Amino acid sequence: MKKKYITFSKNIFIPVTNVCRNACDYCGFRARSFEDADVIGVKEFLDLVHNRGEATEALFTTGESPELSHLSSFFKDRVIEAGFTSLVEYTRELCTLAIEHGLLPHCNLGMLSTDELKELRDVNASMGLMLETTAELEAHRKSPGKDPEMRLKMIEEAGRLKIPFTSGILVGIGEEEEDRIHALEALKSLHERYGHIQEVIIQPFSPKPFTPMWKKKQPSFEEMKDAVRAARELLPDEIAIQVPPNLTSPKELIELGASDLGGISERTIDYINPESPWPREAELRRIITPFELSERLPIYPRFVKKGWYSELLSPLIERYADEDGLRRKDGI
Ligand code: SF4
């Protein structure tokens, strides 16, 4: 079903660390050695925040469970130097600083325990974890955190905690069409129980140099269309289907039911897909014409109205949201 408007948000992208315990065959983000390992420092983070432009969202992305990586000593040293003991404790501090500077955090830190979700809940407007797939794939053979059951369990815990949540599937990483349907059904079933999923991303695999899947073809546009069509048919209307406009052509996918273009940043790059710049807002408007573009916050209107956010976030949400729960147009 077509929506009246197509949504997006304005963010700054914060790669907290590229140290990761997994080694997904398609990943160009994770550090492979001590030489390319990194943890963002507080000063570097504040520089990004001060240069946020019109962004309302601070998107925190990291490698998963860096404390369990073969590069954990690098990660721990950097975090201890900053005065913290874990990824979650450090990220919570960065989220708090982001809020103080007028940004609504959205954390996607990979697998988290229930206690860790609780620790981050009140400083996040929404959180996310890509399910990616429910199939056991070759691409994940060195990635213990990509166990589908574990990931579904975490998404379920987020539902129990009433955290507005983003998930999604990856298309073209070795899964079959029925695997994609199975993954979408699993997300649907969790949403039916907890009502917490705000959007499902349909993300195409995009090959990265120096990775085992560098020579693998991207999924065809037909496969993307099939995946969006299936998602729209399967998932309830209240869940937005998101397609990333820097990785695929959104207009035809909007005609098939996609209604959100995710976060775009005018000040930072997509650190996961650095070769694919986001279109600017004016360009996005042009590409999707005649559909209308509306800016939203990292928390969807439905959850703004339901009050699924903490007291820490209410001053910002009240400042930024209009009566429909979208971003106010008067620039405040
Ligand atoms: S895709 Fe994510 S989980 Fe997999 S290796 Fe890269 S950073 Fe780690």
Confidence label for 1 from pLDDT (cuts 50, 70 and 90): very low
Cα(254)–Cα(301) distance, integer angstroms: 19
Tokens 């008067």 belong to 330
Nearest-atom number in ligand 1 for the CA of 21 is 8
Q: Is residue 328 part of a domain?
A: no
- Is the bond leading into 245 cis (omega within 30 degrees of zero)? no
Instruction: Report if residue 330 sits inside a domain.
Output: no
Does residue 222 lie in a domain region?
A: yes
CA of 24 from ligand 1 middle (Å) equals: 6
Average pLDDT over residues 100-110: 98
Residue 279 counted as domain residue? yes
CA 144 from chain centre, in angstroms, equals 20
Q: How far apart are CA 316 and CA 47, in angstroms?
A: 20
CATH number at residue 259: 3.20.20.70
Q: Which residue lies with its CA nearest to atom 1 of ligand 1? A: 27
Average of per-residue pLDDT across 74-103: 96
Res 10: pLDDT: 96
Which stretch of DSSP H or E encloses residue 242?
Answer: strand 240-242
Q: Would you say 223 and 253 are in contact if contact means Cβ atoms under 8 Å apart? A: no
CA of 80 to the centre of ligand 1 (A): 23
Q: How far apart are CA 249 and CA 180, in angstroms?
A: 20
Task: Provide the 8-state DSSP code for 104.
Answer: E
CA of residue 268 to ligand 1 center, whole Å: 20
Q: What spacing in Å lies between the alpha carbon of 62 and ligand 1's midpoint?
A: 8
Distance (Å) of CA 228 to CA 77, 78, 184, 225, 241: 43, 41, 10, 5, 7
Nearest CA to ligand 1 atom 2: 63
Q: For residue 193, is it within any domain?
A: yes
Q: Does 3 score more than 60 pLDDT?
A: no
pLDDT value, residue 217: 95
Band (316; pLDDT cuts 50, 70, 90)? very high
Give a yes or no: residue 307 inside a domain.
Answer: yes
**Is residue 64 in some structural domain?**
yes
pLDDT range class, residue 332, cuts 50, 70, 90: low
Query: Does the pLDDT at position 13 exceed 80?
Result: yes
Tell me how many domains the chain contains.
1
pLDDT of residue 331: 63
> Which phi and psi angles does 325 have, rounded to 5°?
85, 5
- The boundaries of the domain holding residue 143 are 5-320
Residue 102: inside a domain: yes
The SS3 call for residue 198 is strand
Ligand 1, CB within 6 Å, residue ranges = 20, 22-24, 27, 29-30, 63-64, 110, 143, 145
| C-beta separation of 111 from 87 below 8 A | no
